[in-house]
Amino acid sequence: MERRFAIIEHRAPSSGKINLNDLPGSSGRIDVLARAINTALFLSHGIREDTDVTLHLMGGTGPARRIWLQGSRLRGVHPDERAIAGQIAKALKNPIPAIGQWVELHPGFWHSGGAIEQTIREWEKEACRIFVLDAEGVPFSKDPLNHESVGFILSDDQPFSDIELKSMESIEKVSLGSTWLQGNACISILHHLIDN
Ligand SMILES: C[S@@+](CC[C@H](N)C(=O)[O-])C[C@H]1O[C@@H](n2cnc3c(N)ncnc32)[C@H](O)[C@@H]1O
């Protein structure tokens, strides 16, 4: 089953510079994004070709940018946080494409304008079954999953905004337990549940 993870980073700048020497501090939580990408896409040796990650960079003063890492095509990204952050930093030097127009910067590494509502619309068109991850949701069960593609939406260390919650109101909220975990831990658990 194909897996997709959408991660919303509320303070990461959508344009400009990222300080690679201070990933958790001066540029929003780029370290959180890098860890989530690492967990979602990298195996001990190789890449999960059945997995895609869409980052939502909502910070800074300009419009939002999305970055899509497509596991089946991805080349030239390495599983260390600083290298992943370096790839994101390079993307930020390019103008933001129009909403919904995906531009491939290098194999499997795309960017576009837009926010989570566009991602939801695109996933729905592609018949992806979508869940919002929320510790207070209903317990997640993979048993009724008979879709070819399943997508999960996660926030960073901040709660979803009211606008985000509105765009996700019709989507099922699922929990991996009542304890709030870090996003990358949630991704590991989901991979394990779906793999097995
Ligand atoms: C560090 S948590 C965010 C905690 C933040 N205080 C909040 O209220 O959203 C990052 C994301 O991981 C997901 N998450 C964390 N724990 C979870 C759980 N037990 N079940 C489902 N999703 C969870 C949620 O999507 C959450 O937004």
- Each residue of 1-22: pLDDT tens digit? 899 999 999 999 999 888 888 7
pLDDT at 134 over 90: yes
Residue 9 confidence (pLDDT)? 94
The pLDDT > 90 percentage for the chain reads 78
Residue 23 confidence (pLDDT)? 81
Instruction: Report which ligand 1 atom has the smallest distance to the Cα of 182.
Output: 1
What band does 196 get if pLDDT is binned at 50, 70 and 90? Answer: confident
Residue 35 confidence (pLDDT)? 93
Q: Are strands 103-106 and 109-113 parallel, antiparallel or unpaired?
A: antiparallel
Mean predicted confidence (pLDDT) in 75-94: 91
Instruction: Report which ligand 1 atom has the smallest distance to the Cα of 177.
Output: 19
Task: Give the closest residue (by CA) to ligand 1 atom 18.
Answer: 135
Best of 155, 156, 158, 182 to mutate for ligand 1, by most ligand atoms within 8 A of CB?
Answer: 155
- Please give the residue that has the higher pLDDT: either 77 or 138: 138
- Integer Cα distance of 24 and 148 in angstroms: 35
Q: Tell me if 133 CB under 6 Å of ligand 1.
A: yes
What band does 162 get if pLDDT is binned at 50, 70 and 90? Answer: very high
What band does 76 get if pLDDT is binned at 50, 70 and 90? Answer: confident
The pLDDT > 70 percentage for the chain reads 99
Residue 173 confidence (pLDDT)? 97
- Integer Cα distance of 43 and 2 in angstroms: 15
Q: Tell me if 180 CB under 6 Å of ligand 1.
A: yes
Mean predicted confidence (pLDDT) in 33-44: 94
Residue 128 confidence (pLDDT)? 95
- Integer Cα distance of 63 and 181 in angstroms: 29
Dihedral class, residue 149 (left if φ above 0, else alpha if ψ from -120 to 50, else beta): beta
**95: phi then psi, degrees, rounded to nearest 5:** -60, 150
Instruction: Give CATH for domain 2-195.
Output: 3.40.1280.10
- Please give the residue that has the higher pLDDT: either 145 or 82: 82
Instruction: Please list, in sequence order, all residues whose beta carbon lies within 8 angstroms of the beta carbon of residue 130, skipping any fewer than 6 positions away.
Output: 120, 123, 124, 150, 151, 152, 153, 171, 172
Q: Tell me if 157 CB under 6 Å of ligand 1.
A: yes
